[in-house]
Amino acid sequence: MSIDNFMKHAVTGWMSSHGEHSDIVMSTRIRLARNLRGRRFPIAFSPEEAKDVDHLITEALLNSEENGYSYMKVSELPILERQVLVEKHLISPQLTDPERHGAVVLSEDETLSIMVNEEDHIRIQCIYPGFQLDGAYEKADLVDDYLEKKLPYAFDEQFGYLTSCPSNTGTGMRASVMMHLPTLTMTKQINRIIPAISRLGFVVRGSYGEGSEALGNIYQVSNQTTLGKTEKEILSELKNITLRLIAHERRSRELLMSKSRIALENRLFRSLGTITYARLLPSEEAARCLSDVRLGIDMDIIQDIDMIILNELMVFMQPGFLQQYAGTELTAEERDIFRAKLFRERLEVGHKRLKEEETGE
Amino acid sequence: MLCEICNERPASVIFTQETMQGSSERHMCERCAFQSKMFHFDPNQEPLSIQQFLSNWLGGPEPFQSQQQTKEPLAEGPECPECGLTFRKFLDIGKFGCSTCYDTFRERLPRLFGKLHNGHSSHNGKVPVSFNELFAVKKRIEEIRLKMQDAIEEERFEEAASLRDEANELKRLLTDGGGDANVN
C-alpha cells in the first residue's frame, strides 16, 4: 500500500493536533457506560439476548437524524482490522473477542464510537484532539440523551446508572486526558505526582492502559470515582488537575532549557536522526524518539516538522497498523524494519509538502 | 517442658498453626521464638489475592479473626433471581450479572461502594428525563400524603378525602393503573 493511500484510511479524528494545549494534552476522551433494563449484562447474557441488545441499540442509532454513522459487527471483521480499531482507540481490546457478539457504531469523523456489548450493553465514547473535556462530554451527552428516549435504561434512584462493574456505577462516566509529560518524566518528578493525584480520586497510568509503563512518556489521567459526584464536578476536578500538570511540565521544560540546553538539544536531535534514518526501529526506541522529537517541536528546537506527523506515527507504529501498511502479517523483526520504513517515508512526504508550500503554489 | 528448639530453656511460648492438614502446636522459649521464622509470613505461602482480600473484607467474617472461622465455607449470601449470581460469587468476579443484582444485594452495596468511591455510596449526577418525571410525581405524592395527614389530624375530613383522591390519581399514573395503588 502506498503511503498516501494508507494515510487516507488510517488517520482518525483525534490525531489532528488541534485543541487547547495540544502540545501537552494529546487527546481527551469521555466514556459513558449504559445498560438496558430487563436484559442481563454481557457477562451473563445468552447469545439470543446479545443479538437482541445489538439489534435494539444499533436500530436506534442508525435511524437517528445524525447521518454518516457506520455499523460494524466485530465478529465479521478480519482480525487485523479489529486490531487497527483498537490501536485507533475506537474499540477496546475486550470488544475484539468474537464470542462477545460485540459491535461498534462509528461517526463519520470517528470522534464518536458507540460500542455494543462490551462489558456493558452500551459504551458511548467520544475522543477529541487536544484538551476539550467539556466539548467531548457535550457530544457524548447528546448521544446519551438521544438513546435514553429510545431505549429503557437501567437506572436506580440510589445508585444511578447501573453497570456491570461496580467501579463504574453512578455516572458511568470515565473522563480521561492523554498527556505527553517528557520533562516531568526525565526529572522523575512524575513519581511524586502520581501518588498525589491518586489521593484525589484520579488515576495516572501509561497510555496503553492499565499496568503498562508510560511508553513514550505518555500518560492517561482519569477519574476513579463515579459515584457521589456530578459529571460537572468530575470534569472540573479533572480539568484542574490537568491544568496543574500542564503548568508543572512547562516549568520543567523551561528549567531544563536554562540549565542544560546543549545536552537537551543533543538528545532531541539524535532522536530526530534515529527516526529519520533508522533501518530497524523497535517499538520502545520509536516511542522514546517520538517523544523527544515532539518535545523538540514544542520547544521550537526542531523546526520544519508538522506535529500531526508525530501524532500519526505514534499510532502507526503499533503492530496492527504496520501489518496493514505492509499488507501482510509480520514477525517482530519484520515489524521493526517496516516501522523504520514507514517513519522514513512519512517524514519524507511531510518534508516534500512543506517544501512545496515554501516555494509557493 | 523444655523448648523444642534449644532443649535448654523452659518453653514459655506456644505457637498454634492452622493448616489444611489440621493444627499443630509448637512449644518454644522466648529467645528461640523470637528468632523463629514463624513470626514472619511464610514466603512460600500464596500472597492474599485482591479478590480474597475483598471477599474477606466485605463478605465473610473479619479476615484476621481466629483462623477456624475462615476455614468454614463463607455463606453464599443472597442469590439474584434474574441471573443466579450469589453475593459470594459477585465478590469473587467483581462484576454484577444484571441490573436486578443491584436490588438483590442492595443492603450490602453501600459499604462496598464506599470503599470503591472515596466514601460515596449514592448517585448525584445525571438522571434520565423519564426518571426525572417519575421522581417529580413521587415527590408530589409524598407532599400530598403529608398534607392529608395534617388535614386528618385537624379533622378536615372533606379536604383529606379530596387529597386522597388526588394522590391516588397520581399513583395510578405511576403504576399504569395497578390495583394496589391505594394511598391510605
How do residues B19-59 score in pLDDT, each as one tens digit?
666 677 778 777 676 666 444 433 344 444 444 445 555 55
Shortest Cα distance from B113 to chain A (angstroms)? 7
Query: A35 and B102 in contact by Cβ < 8 A?
Result: no
- For the question of whether the overall pTM of this predicted structure is more than 0.90, the answer is no
- A and B: number of Cβ contacts within 8 A: 120
pLDDT-derived band at A211 (thresholds 50, 70, 90) equals: very low
Shortest Cα distance from B73 to chain A (angstroms)? 24
Query: A155 and B117 in contact by Cβ < 8 A?
Result: no
Residues of B in contact with A35 (CB under 8 A): 99
Query: B121 and A227 in contact by Cβ < 8 A?
Result: yes
A104 neighbors A116 (Cβ within 8 angstroms): yes
pLDDT-derived band at A343 (thresholds 50, 70, 90) equals: very high
B126 vs A225, A228, A231: nearest CB: A231
Tell which wins on pLDDT, A130 or B75: A130
Predicted local confidence at residue A351, as pLDDT: 72
Distance, in Å, from the CA atom of A297 to the CA atom of A291, rounded to the nearest integer, reads 10
- The strand pairing partners of A128, in sequence order, are A28
Identify the segments of chain B with pLDDT beneath 70: 15-22, 31, 33-74, 175-184
Per the listing, cell 435504561 goes with: A153
Instruction: Tell me the torsion sign for CA atoms A68, A74, A78, A84.
Output: positive
Chain B contact for A155 (CB, 8 A cutoff): yes
Q: Helices then strands (H, E): number in chain B? A: 8, 2
Shortest Cα distance from A251 to chain B (angstroms)? 31
Chain B contact for A171 (CB, 8 A cutoff): yes
Tell me the per-residue pLDDT of A220-245, one tens digit each, with 9 for 90 and over.
999 999 999 999 999 999 999 999 99
pLDDT-derived band at A281 (thresholds 50, 70, 90) equals: very high
Give residues with Cβ within 8 angstroms of B110, minimum separation 6. Answer: B121, B122
Per the listing, cell 477529541 goes with: A128
Distance, in Å, from the CA atom of A227 to the CA atom of B113, rounded to the nearest integer, reads 8
- What the block records as the C-alpha cell of B75 is 455463606
Lowest mean pLDDT segment, chosen from A57-61, A143-147, B62-66, B142-146: B62-66
- ipTM for the complex shown: 0.84
Find, among A351, A342, A244, A250, the residue nearest to A290 by Cα: A342
Does residue A91 sit in helix, strand or coil?
coil
Which helix (H) or strand (E) is A73 found in, with range? strand A70-73
Predicted local confidence at residue B62, as pLDDT: 43
- What the block records as the C-alpha cell of A249 is 511540565
Query: A166 and B96 in contact by Cβ < 8 A?
Result: yes
Q: What is the DSSP letter of B58?
A: I
Does residue A34 sit in helix, strand or coil?
strand
